[in-house]
Structure 1
Amino acid sequence: MKKTFYSNGKLLLTAEYTVLDGAKALALPTRYGQYLDIEPNTSNYIEWNSFDADGALWYKDTIVITDIKSNTCTTQNPVSKTLITILHTAHSMNPNVLQHGFTVQTRLTFPKKWGLGTSSTLINNIALWFDANPYSLLWKSFGGSGYDIACALHNTPIFYEIENGKPVVNTADFNPAFKDNLYFIYLNKKQNSRNAIADYRERNENKALAGKITELTKNIYHAATLNEFRVLIDRHEAIMSDALGQETIKQQLFPDFDGSLKSLGAWGGDFILAASAQDPHSYFKAKGYTTILPYKDMIL
């Protein structure tokens, strides 16, 4: 019998990097995500096809079940290597699933290059398929804080933090009165989160920094006006700029922007948040950034 699983994409509004050190993060599930369709067959392999949002086939492979069970990859395809690692880990958590072959299809509802969670939505969908703990599957196979898994599973904004090595998730009634003044802009550059985390780890493991960001997260959540929100995200950017030894995205690319800008997740790529009293479409389009989504079109 064919089964279909779905997971939401993600954006991290606060506590990028520092969530790894226990900071409380405010995270936003997106209206975009990924489907996983599975259908059993009588073969001894998985026929895997992955489609981008425009319907283009971006990955295809046939994976032998015994290779998954032994974590053996005979191909040099990096996607296949990663997929086999994830499936092997899921199999070790629930050995009852791979008793036969499957025809598998994944379908993104956002362009793969956007960085809204191609990997995290896949991992969560595979966990649902294997009836496995998605956070354990992430940490054993891919790594990361786990906030993206929490977004995959929740249909509202959330607070996310790691306490004693375990994820703590609480729904957040984040529905700012000024949300029509918030926009998400794609920087035309996909960022590798794992590499960015490794760079952060070399520079920081600072509980004091995590505490400072936790307080900012709470204040950002409670911000009543656009101006108050802007002051707070500017402060967040300044603190993380010092911690990372990098200029803020506004300093780097948009110093003349009439509003506030905040990186979301790994600095230097994917989406940023613009908070402005004025519609910023013309400003960013003039600079060559044409993917601009209002808050209501992006966030669940």
Structure 2
Amino acid sequence: MNIVEHEMFNTYSNGKLLLAGEYVVLKGAWALAVPLRFGQMLQVSSNADTPGIYWESISNGRNWVQVHFSSPNLDILRTDNPPIAKQIRNILLEARNIQPAFLATPKQLSVKATLNFPYDWGIGSSSSFIVNIARWAGCDPFELNQRIFSGSGYDIAAASSDQPILYRIKQSVPVWKAVTFNPPFIGQIWLVYQNKKQNTLQSIRNFLKMAVPENAINTISSISLQMAQAPSLDEFMTLMNIHENLMAEILQTDTLQQTLFPDFRGAIKSLGAWGGDFFLAASNENDGYVPDYFKVQGFETYFQMNEMILK
């Protein structure tokens, strides 16, 4: 006779944004990342009524996916979102490959994964999920992330940090250190959502095929370090522009400002995978200029940076 195990587990991980070092962090550059006040909660509890594992994922107050898994095989018995259910199953099985005792015996559990932001914002729905599952399974979140997404891992580090970090990969090992990033002009830096999510995994695959000159990697590293301690908005915007122009050259594409916002009075910098998610906008114009400009352009989801980063 099988013995059904019961358990309770709760954890929370932060969302993230990569302010500098996108793409080239995969080649060893220093990157500047900030944890956000948005994040994801994972709650696990016993469920005497339902054999197996009943899973519910919620995004910004709305049900995203419901799944009933068998236990311990984790077969999908029922779901209202098969593609996402398969992704969850794959991550759980990969966590078990790393930590064989994880969910290895019959269980009756209810699991709720709750995002306090829309999952398509691109600010850490996947990375916070990976960290939460790794904590539950008792495995290394960087190893789990590498097996699933093959990214740099900066988002994994940010998910567990309570302050901004400088992050790099050195000889295949993640290295990061906490930094202070709270400039007096932070209220003049805005984060604007592009109204679409970019496929980060595909962007990573495409970039890894590219050759990047060593001097470009060193320049991006220097910009990441300087952005963390820029003394003025003018200098910060100069660094934004240098970074954006250099990455446009590496990626062989136009900058976001050239493509969509050529008349914007200030600086615009892409964040993360180019083509979607959030971007940085900064200006010396009056307080209402930035939100008014982007609202007219049809971009109505925006935050001052100090509203979004974890404090």
Alpha-carbon distance between aligned partners in 2 of 1:145 and 1:46, rounded to the nearest angstrom: 31
% identity of equivalent residues: 40
Moved more, 198-207 or 115-124: 198-207
Displacement of 1:205: 4.5
| Kept in 2: contact 1:260–1:275 (CA 8 A) | yes
2:192 aligns to what SS in structure 1?
strand
| Correspondence for 2:4 | none
Partner of 1:171: 178
**Residue matched to 1:182:** 189
CA shift at 1:199, angstroms?
Answer: 1.9
What residue number does 1:285 align with? 295
Deviations 1:220-265 (A, max 9, x none): 2221110011111100000000000111110111100000011110
Instruction: Give the deviation of 1:283 after TM superposition.
Output: 0.5
What one-letter code is carried by the residue in structure 1 that aligns with 2:54? E
> Quick one: distance in 1 between partners of 2:216 and 2:92?
36
Unaligned runs of 5+ in 2: 1-6
State the Cα deviation string for residues 79-108 of structure 1 (Å, max 9, x = none). Answer: 122111111111122222312232111111
Which stretch shifts more, 197-206 or 156-165? 197-206
Cα distance between partner residues in 2 of 1:117 and 1:65: 28
**What amino acid does structure 1 have at the position aligned with 2:85?**
S
Matched letter for residue 20 of structure 2: T
Cα deviations by residue, 1:153-175 (Å, 9 ceiling, x for unpaired): 00100011111111111001111
Alignment of 1:94 onto 2:99 = yes
Deviation for aligned residue 1:202: 2.6
* Aligned counterpart in structure 2 of residue 155 of structure 1, from 157, 162, 185: 162
Q: What letter corresponds to residue 86 of structure 2 in structure 1?
A: K
Q: Is the 8 A contact 1:22 1:207 kept in 2?
A: no
1:115-130 equivalent positions in 2, closer than 5 A: 115-130=122-137
Q: How many angstroms apart in 2 are the aligned matches of 1:213 and 1:271?
A: 20
CA 1:200–1:132 in structure 2 vs 1: closer, same or farther (change >3 Å)?
same
The equivalent of 1:114 in structure 2 is 121
* Aligned mate of 2:228, from 221, 224, 228: 221
1:243 equivalent in structure 2 = 250
Q: Does the 8 Å contact 1:21/1:206 carry over to 2?
A: no
Match of 2:67 in 1: 61
TM-score, normalising length: structure 1 = 0.94
The count of aligned residue pairs is: 296
The equivalent residue for 1:85 is 90
Determine the C-alpha separation between the residues in 2 that align with 1:37 and 1:73. Answer: 20
* Contact 1:27–1:160 (Cα < 8 Å) also in 2: yes
Label 1:73 to 1:246 Cα distance change in 2 as closer, same or farther (>3 A): farther
Q: Which residue type is aligned with residue 195 of structure 1?
A: Q
Contact (CA 8 Å) 2:42, 2:132: kept in 1 or not? Answer: yes
SS of corresponding position for 1:288: coil
Letter in 2 for 1:81: K
Aligned-residue RMSD, C-alpha: 1.7
Give the match for residue 27 of structure 1: 33
2:148 counterpart (141, 154, 176) = 141
Distance of 2:102 and 2:249 partners within structure 1: 48
How many Å separate the matches in 1 of 2:232 and 2:40?
34
Corresponding letter in the other structure for 1:87: L
Q: Match of 1:171, as an amino acid?
A: A
Give the structure 2 partner of residue 295 of structure 1: 305
Question: In the alignment, is the contact (CA less than 8 A) between 1:50 and 1:105 conserved in 2?
Answer: yes
Contact 1:91 1:97 in 2 (8 A): yes
Structure 1 residues 142 and 64, CA gap change in structure 2 (3 angstroms): farther
The answer to whether structure 1 residue 231 and structure 2 residue 238 are counterparts is: yes
**Structure-2 change in CA distance of 1:182 and 1:38 (3 Å):** same
Q: Quick one: distance in 1 between partners of 2:71 and 2:199?
A: 29
- Give the secondary structure class of the aligned counterpart of 2:67: strand
Distance 1:82 1:191 in 2: 17
What corresponds to 1:192 in structure 2? Answer: 199
Contact 1:67-1:73 within 8 A present in 2 as well = no
